Structure 1
């Protein structure tokens, strides 16, 4: 620094030769400015750059440049820089010099600023992902619900107003059904009477079917008994026919024998060996044998007729019994069919009765959940509503709070279930310091519960954040209601400030690690150490 001052003094003592004051005024001003700049630049370089040889080279170069500017031909006589310093026109040159007592202070200030910048560069910085969302409920049945009309009807009476707390099953309003098929006031009683009548008809038909079923079983037993009996009588008639035929054969033999006796007795009578009486008895016996043969033939004919009659009777009995059995089965099937038709009609009437009951119930709009009525339809008593018209909106008394948040697709890989999130609810006073989560005030803690596996069609990914059970609970529903906007910061890795500035300057995405970072990881992250 002493050498720099001597150089400046030498420059100031260089005389100006052969020139008037008016002729050298431009050159004096140029030299003055160059000398001032030279001294200031040398002072700054000597404070910042610690290498003296490098400073000496810079000083010599600047001195040569200034002398060349002073000694260049301008139509004036040459002048020395030392003479300019002694001129009364350069008194301001001494005024701009840094006083000796302030040189140490300026150097100390510069060193302190540099040291402060160095310390700040290694200040720990927490990387975060900024997301937004709104408060809701994790379970669908605890989210705000619209109560819609289920039937076309006319509003009879409102039972609630906006802001009223309701419980499950409370009546909200009543509707009069406008469907012509269900407008009769005594429709339910008429349908109930018809259903009972059809039920009685069905029961009667089933009873007849049961009786006919029993009769069919008896007739089947009768068939089993009657047909064998008729067959036995036919077999008996066949036996009589065989017996009659045997008698005919015996009678024929007797007749032949009697005729031989008659011829023998006639010959003996001509010879006088037998009397006339014996001949007559023989003839009578022959006639009796012929009569027996004729009687046997008549008996055979009668037996055959009886056998035929019994055979026909057996077939007739079987046919009659089978016909009666078929008639009984047909009657039973008819009764069963009548019972089935009655049952179908009962089902139809029961369906209409159930629909009528359901429409009567649908005419009474009930609250599906416990909550508060927050919005009512602009419809008064006597106005008509249609199915699907929104009548009221109910905000449930939710105990399963959650925040539905959305993250950009570039940040989606950094999200995982269980990661901590700092939350700021709109309207709740807070001091957000994402870089230092421990210093945040007025924020709440959450945990990522679930992350959608597909985007929302715009490249964004939705995820749910639920309260962290290990931290303080979220504000009550009276302060933060469903639909309240919220801002969140997903906590990632802790890095030094210089690394975060370097990352953002290079547009690199933030990184994270599952385990808590060590001191080395904090001061020198992996990316800063060149790790892959």
Structure 2
């Protein structure tokens, strides 16, 4: 019916009494759909209470666990020119294998016999050092001889002074004796004159006494002159000691000056020899630097300075090498807000680029194609990209990582946190809240033990 009129027939007639009315008005529509909605609602509510593992997803890349296992470039410590390559890209080299030969570009090192000539200079200078040492020894012997001679001469001069002093004493005694004799002779002369005047002595006796008196006076004057001469000799002997000391002091000073000059010259030559030996060692070391060798076993990745005759400065990279023995690791970057949730030793799931995987981030146990890892290091300072770098190593208790992984390939990481209900995780995501802050079980136990202590 079109129900055009406001008067409804159903108010006056019971349509359910008729067959068509029974089929239309007594039948329930969408009964299966209602059951489906009810079952779906119950399942959805149950799902909301299922456990969900909170996690921190991040992008990373494959690296090595130790720094010396990562790709490196080889540089030359000296400037030079490429002369000959002994390898090509992709070759495997052992530790110590020669990779490249270079040549000098500085004019002071062009001489191929530079080390040999320097060695000859060292030999000549060493001979000069020996000669200076011999000269020093000779001068030292000369000084010792002069000192010995001075000691003997001084002893001799002192003995002479003692002799002259004793002679002065002897002459003084003789002078006093002559004075007494002169006095006696004078008294005898005067007595003889008196006796001659008295007629008791002859003139001859007076003359004899006068002669004797004059003789004694002459001896007295001679003895006085001798005493003065002896005293002068004593003074001269003492003066000779001072002169002798000054003379030998001058000779010894000159010899010591020559000795010091020889020692200074010898030390200067020794310094030159030491400098030449240093130069020789540097030349030999520089010659060994003309061959670039592999620091460890690995593969040649790329030759950077490839052209023959191409020059380079010291420190410029020449070739890139990848070590053969390495332990794989993954570095990931986390936001500062998530950093307090990351701890050393915690588990992380890793998905490598190029390996198929089915990932359920909240249910790591049902994921396929991910590999286990553990956190071994957390960067203490933020990186240039505004995140903190975290280093992961393979979990030995899990499936081993694929052997075909190359260093530098990409990886996705999922750091596993607490288990929470799904409804809580949905509520957290809707409100943009961070994951729950927590501490690992081991750290909680340690903190409780510390509090008890």
- Provide the TM-score with structure 1 as the length reference: 0.76
What residue is the counterpart of 1:201 in the other structure?
A: 128
* SS in structure 2 at match of 1:206: helix
In structure 1, stretches of 5+ residues that fail to align are 1-20, 30-76, 517-532
Does 2:286 align with 1:359? yes
Does 2:109 align with 1:164? no
What residue is the counterpart of 1:507 in the other structure?
A: 432
* SS in structure 2 at match of 1:247: helix
1:497, distance to aligned residue in structure 2 (A): 0.8
What residue is the counterpart of 2:7 in the other structure?
A: 79
Return the alpha-carbon distance in structure 2 between the equivalents of residues 514 and 93 of structure 1: 70
1:106, distance to aligned residue in structure 2 (A): 4.8
Q: How many residues align?
A: 438
1:299, distance to aligned residue in structure 2 (A): 1.4
Structure 1 residues 363, 453: closer, same or farther in 2, change over 3 A?
same
Return the alpha-carbon distance in structure 1 between the equivalents of residues 250 and 337 of structure 2: 89
1:298-356: CA deviation from partner (whole Å, max 9, x where unpaired): 21122123223322321232122212211221111111111122122223323332332
The match for 1:300 among 227, 234, 238 is: 227
Does 2:329 align with 1:402? yes
Structure 1 residues 406, 338: closer, same or farther in 2, change over 3 A?
same
Return the alpha-carbon distance in structure 2 between the equivalents of residues 223 and 81 of structure 1: 165
What residue is the counterpart of 1:417 in the other structure?
A: 344
What residue is the counterpart of 1:438 in the other structure?
A: 365
- Provide the TM-score with structure 2 as the length reference: 0.88
1:205, distance to aligned residue in structure 2 (A): 1.0
Greater CA radius of gyration, 1 or 2? 1
Return the alpha-carbon distance in structure 1 between the equivalents of residues 26 and 125 of structure 2: 119
The match for 2:138 among 211, 214, 238 is: 211
Return the alpha-carbon distance in structure 2 between the equivalents of residues 98 and 297 of structure 1: 186
CA contact 2:372–2:395 (8 Å) conserved in 1: yes
What residue is the counterpart of 2:188 in the other structure?
A: 261
Does 2:379 align with 1:379? no
Return the alpha-carbon distance in structure 2 between the equivalents of residues 140 and 330 of structure 1: 62
> Higher relative contact order at CA 8 Å, sep ≥6: structure 1 or structure 2?
2
What residue is the counterpart of 1:370 in the other structure?
A: 297
Return the alpha-carbon distance in structure 2 between the equivalents of residues 97 and 506 of structure 1: 48
The match for 1:474 among 396, 401, 404 is: 401
Does 2:416 align with 1:494? no
Does 2:412 align with 1:484? no
Return the alpha-carbon distance in structure 2 between the equivalents of residues 412 and 260 of structure 1: 139
Return the alpha-carbon distance in structure 2 between the equivalents of residues 198 and 92 of structure 1: 134
Return the alpha-carbon distance in structure 1 between the equivalents of residues 88 and 340 of structure 2: 47
1:275, distance to aligned residue in structure 2 (A): 4.0
CA contact 2:305–2:319 (8 Å) conserved in 1: no
1:80, distance to aligned residue in structure 2 (A): 3.6
What residue is the counterpart of 1:7 in the other structure?
A: none
